[in-house]
Amino acid sequence: MNKMKLLPVMAYRGVKQNRLVYRPYLAACFFSVFSYYLFSSLLHNDLMKRLPKAAYAWLMLSIGKGLLSFILLLFLLYAGSFLQKRRRRELGLYSILGLERKHIGVMLFWENAGMYLVSVSAGIILGFVLNKLMFLLLLRLTRLNVEAEFYFSAEAVKETLGYFAFVFGCLTIRSLWGVFRMKPTELMAESKKGEREVRHIGLWSAVGAILMVWGYYISVTSKVDSMIFTSFFLAVFLVVVGTYFLFTSGSVAFLRFLKKRKKFYYRPANQVTISGMLYRMKKNAAGLSNICIFSTMLLITLTCTVTMWMGMEQIAFYDYPYDVEAFCLENGSVAESAQEKAQELAEKYGQPIARLDEYCATELNCGRLEGSNAFVSAAGLDFADQYAVTLLTLDDYNRMEGQNQSLQEGEVLLYSTGRPFGFNSVNFLGVEAVVKAEPERIYPFPQAKNRMFHFTEQYVVVVKDWEAFDRFVAAWALTNGVTDLEGFGRNDVRHLNLLLDGKDSEKTAFLEEWAAWCQAQPDFIKIDSGLEGRDEDRAMNGGLLFIGIVFGLLFFMCFLLIMYFKQVSEGYEDQNSFEIMQKVGMSDSEIKGAIHRQILLVFFLPLAGAFLHTAAGLVMVNGLLAALRFFDTGLLIRCCVGVAGAVAVLYAGSYVVTARTYYRIVKK
């Protein structure tokens, strides 16, 4: 029979005989194709382009697709290395029996081609079937109220086929390289070959510790500014490299320490466990570090996803505290008429009015000398170092907050949305004033609960009267070279802001009629809708939530499969060792004890590292969420603890399954 005709059959039989490792690998490929096709299909859905508030969700999906492409390539290459290791002895045997390397190369090509066809077919069909369901989930998370349409994208299919052709092409090239660079005898011995000892353990341990501490330091000390994302990726890189070095050197040093303790080492179960780990120390380090990193990604991704889901309304109302913001000229009768109209509509629609605030405010950009009470000119300062200072008169403040405060000449109330001001006096561009008190709240300027970040931090200075108001404005104008003060001070427009008590979905008719009435009045300038602004925030954050859910599932699949492949491949490698141990008198209970010790180390050492990484990274995550206007650190910590508990339970279940699989293999 022609060898070339026999090679596809041999490829099929090779996959079938190794189904214990190929089944989960194919499942990973199915899910990878499904995830990629899903993102591509949603991006090519014409409805996403037509929706007025879907631009943010489309942008988030585009970014997510790029990250997904990179992660899937690395993961499938890593998972493919386990299959390659498992097949080397078999391929070496084929070479000894007469197959040339070109024949083995063709067989590997057919093998990868078959897995490509099966994976993309199943993944695209699954994506096609679940496309509408996932689209509905995206619309639900983004609060876009439209009818979902059944949609098939040929472009998405082409992109998916092309991308995974590239991925499986890389897998094929890697497999061929592993075969062509080794002789048949080397392939036969590769699976049983031990690894060279790690040298300079102390040096690598020190380097790993330094890199990890450096990454932790960047995470803990990072500020929410324009460099926050650069700092995030630098910290991640340092922690990943430091983790690998520490697992490589630290695990070996620890195992050597146990080996030197003769009373502990010279027990059958302990000896088998420690010697088995030392036998594969480099590969163990790579596996353990990858499990640790993917577990950390899973913890942080799920923490961010759950936190954003719980805090989405906080984010929306932080940016848009009012349902409608109207601006009218300084005319008391117009504002009074608008308030009467709002009360009339409240009775008509049965919608209680939570707040109806009328005030005049001027916002000025300033810098602030760190650690002092002085505000300075913002000229020449970066955006991150600028602060918004809003001037407000005492009469407007008392009316808005229902207070009866009084101020003497030269006194102010000073409110901060972030960190407390903390000084008894303020120097505003040369104007000195005594800070009588720092109010706990001024509604239109929501305060960050943790008050840690100066990002978007702004100050409100409540002055005694219009004379003091003009004095502050004049000082700002002088230092910034502004000569035309029209639009600043008492001749400025007045805010008339409305907030209803109820759900956003129930407010539309009321607000549309009130806004139409205001726009018909000659003294009203413009109307800004807080409802539309919140919808845009929800669309953007909903897109992030959708990406978080998909990536959370992806990272969960990655770390489970890495653990599974690691234990299965090591189980096959340990078969002969345990067989010899049984022949010299090692009992089943002692074998199980050795297995459980080894797997416990493999499982819970990365879990402990992942918890440590997550705890250190939580400070930076807090900062990243602050950039999205989420400031509830308490909720973030509670979500993180809950996610960590859920992941620990999943780990325990994985431990039980993996231990059984490993034991079943070594007993064969």
Among 274, 43, 7, 70, which Cα is nearest to 155's?
Answer: 43
Name 638's Cβ contacts closer than 8 Å, sequence gap at least 6.
Answer: none
d(CA 187, CA 90): 8
Higher per-residue pLDDT: 316 or 583: 316
Among the listed ranges 199-203, 328-332, 419-423, which one has the minimum average pLDDT value? 328-332
Q: Is the pLDDT of residue 226 over 60?
A: no
What is the number of alpha carbons within 13 Å of residue 115 lying toward its C-beta?
A: 30
Helices (H) and strands (E) in the chain, counts: 19, 11
Among the listed ranges 303-317, 446-460, 648-662, which one has the minimum average pLDDT value? 446-460
Question: Are the beta carbons of 452 and 630 closer than 8 angstroms?
Answer: no
pLDDT value of residue 305:
83
Among the listed ranges 227-231, 356-360, 391-395, which one has the minimum average pLDDT value? 227-231
Among the listed ranges 251-260, 322-331, 479-488, 542-551, which one has the minimum average pLDDT value? 479-488
Write the DSSP string, 91-126: HHHHHHTT--HHHHHHHHHHHHHHHHHHHHHHHHHH
Name 423's Cβ contacts closer than 8 Å, sequence gap at least 6.
Answer: 372, 373, 435
pLDDT value of residue 536:
76
Given pLDDT bands bounded at 50, 70 and 90, which one contains residue 434? very high
Higher per-residue pLDDT: 605 or 510: 510
d(CA 360, CA 465): 12
pLDDT value of residue 411:
92
Higher per-residue pLDDT: 357 or 569: 357
Average pLDDT over residues 146-159: 72
Higher per-residue pLDDT: 628 or 353: 353
Among the listed ranges 344-348, 576-580, 603-607, which one has the minimum average pLDDT value? 576-580
Phi, psi of 411 (to 5 degrees): -110, 150
Average pLDDT over residues 554-570: 74
Among 8, 192, 3, which Cα is nearest to 97's?
Answer: 3
Please give the angle made by the CA atoms of 88, 89 and 90, to the nearest 5 degrees.
Answer: 90
Q: Is the pLDDT of residue 106 over 80?
A: no
Given pLDDT bands bounded at 50, 70 and 90, which one contains residue 414? very high
Among the listed ranges 192-196, 315-319, 652-656, which one has the minimum average pLDDT value? 192-196
Among the listed ranges 109-113, 353-357, 583-587, which one has the minimum average pLDDT value? 583-587
Average pLDDT over residues 520-539: 79
d(CA 144, CA 290): 38
Q: What is the pLDDT of residues 8-51, one digit of tens each?
A: 777 667 677 777 677 778 887 888 888 888 778 877 776 666 55
d(CA 405, CA 463): 11
For the chain, give the percent of residues with pLDDT over 70. 72
Q: Is the pLDDT of residue 60 over 70?
A: no
Name 241's Cβ contacts closer than 8 Å, sequence gap at least 6.
Answer: 208, 211
Question: Are the beta carbons of 548 and 65 closer than 8 angstroms?
Answer: no
Average pLDDT over residues 522-542: 78
pLDDT value of residue 564:
74
Q: What is the pLDDT of residues 275-311, one digit of tens each?
A: 766 665 555 666 677 778 878 888 888 888 888 888 8
Question: Are the beta carbons of 569 and 192 closer than 8 angstroms?
Answer: no
Phi, psi of 356 (to 5 degrees): -140, 90
Average pLDDT over residues 425-449: 86
State which of 55-59, 372-376, 620-624 shows the largest mean pLDDT.
Answer: 372-376
Q: Is the pLDDT of residue 618 over 80?
A: yes
Higher per-residue pLDDT: 75 or 667: 75
Q: Is the pLDDT of residue 456 over 90?
A: no
For the chain, give the percent of residues with pLDDT over 90. 5
Higher per-residue pLDDT: 273 or 519: 519
Write the DSSP string, 250-318: HHHHHHHHHHH-HHHHSSHHHHHHHHHHHHTHHHHHHHHHHHHHHHHHHHHHHHHHHHHHHHHHHHHHH
Given pLDDT bands bounded at 50, 70 and 90, which one contains residue 510? confident
Please give the torsion angle defined by the CA atoms of residues 464, 470, 473 and 477, in that order, rounded to the nearest 10 degrees: -160
Name 398's Cβ contacts closer than 8 Å, sequence gap at least 6.
Answer: 404, 405
Q: What is the mean pLDDT of the chain?
A: 77
List the structure tokens of 436. 């009588």
d(CA 656, CA 668): 19
pTM given for the model: 0.72
pLDDT value of residue 81:
74
pLDDT value of residue 166:
92
Average pLDDT over residues 249-264: 74
List the structure tokens of 462. 């409540």
pLDDT value of residue 1:
47
Given pLDDT bands bounded at 50, 70 and 90, which one contains residue 222? confident
Higher per-residue pLDDT: 35 or 273: 35
Given pLDDT bands bounded at 50, 70 and 90, which one contains residue 425? very high
Task: Give strand pairing partners of 412.
Answer: 435
d(CA 39, CA 54): 15
pLDDT value of residue 547:
74
Among the listed ranges 70-74, 105-109, 141-145, 353-357, which one has the minimum average pLDDT value? 141-145
Average pLDDT over residues 548-574: 73
Write the DSSP string, 132-178: HHHHHHHHHHHT----------HHHHHHHHHHHHHHHHHHHHHHHHH
d(CA 235, CA 634): 23
Higher per-residue pLDDT: 72 or 276: 72
